[in-house]
């Protein structure tokens, strides 16, 4: 991917997770009271997945990387929706085309332009929906992504990887 596609020093990822994706610590009633009626921030500035996020992003850029990642626990059982803020000198059409081209052979990734995403469209599926939207400020964009963490984030992804690894049709057992 083009190393100058986005400003890699100004990435903000604001992510919301249902409690099935937030780990066992959420059952600490002192830290997360009234979990079904509460929104909480957790893992501020040092979330356990941050090193793997940075490791995978570094595969796509040669320049320095700086990402601010903040997860939130929301009052729903499953689903993750992420909102990622980036800056780029490219147009929204160019960025959309780059995403679309990159994921063109990915059976379970759907790329949109200017679509407001939600988790209902992916719950009980192995799909990952991605949308790129123009921010109101010049050269700023908002990428949103939604998955069902119990399928695409875990079991469905494992089945998909198994299928690929052992030469089965990628969608076998998933559609």
Q: For residues 15 and 75, is the Cβ–Cβ distance under 8 A? A: no
Statement: the pTM of the whole predicted model exceeds 0.95: no
The pLDDT tens digits of the residues spanning 30-53 come to 666 777 788 888 888 888 888 888
User: What integer pLDDT is reported at residue 27 of this predicted model?
Assistant: 62
Of 62, 5, 15, which Cα lies nearest the Cα of 43?
Answer: 15
Written as six digits, the tokens of 35 are 């979990």
Give pLDDT tens digits for 116-149.
999 999 999 999 999 999 999 999 999 999 999 9
Return the ∠ at Cα 146 (arms to 113 and 21), rounded to 5°.
165
pLDDT in the model for residue 104: 96
CATH 3.30.360.10 fits 11-148, yes or no: yes
SS3 state at 148: coil
Helix, strand, or coil (residue 168): coil
Give the SS3 label for residue 4: coil
């Amino acid at each position: 991917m083009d190393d100058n596609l986005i400003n890699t020093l100004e990435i903000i990822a604001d992510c919301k997770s249902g409690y099935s994706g937030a780990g066992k610590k959420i059952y600490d009633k002192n830290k997360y009271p009234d979990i079904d009626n509460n929104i909480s921030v957790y893992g501020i500035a040092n979330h356990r997945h941050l090193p793997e996020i940075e490791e995978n992003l570094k595969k796509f850029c040669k320049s320095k990387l700086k990402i601010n990642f903040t997860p939130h626990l929301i009052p729903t059982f499953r689903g993750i929706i992420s909102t990622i803020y980036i800056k780029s000198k490219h147009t929204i059409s160019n960025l959309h085309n780059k995403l679309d081209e990159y994921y063109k052979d990915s059976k379970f990734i759907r790329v949109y332009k200017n679509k407001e995403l939600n988790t209902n469209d992916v719950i009980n599926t192995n799909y990952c929906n991605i949308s790129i939207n123009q921010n109101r400020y010049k050269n700023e964009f908002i990428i949103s992504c939604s998955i069902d963490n119990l399928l695409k984030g875990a079991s469905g992804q494992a089945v998909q990887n198994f299928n690929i690894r052992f030469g089965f049709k990628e969608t076998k057992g998933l559609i």
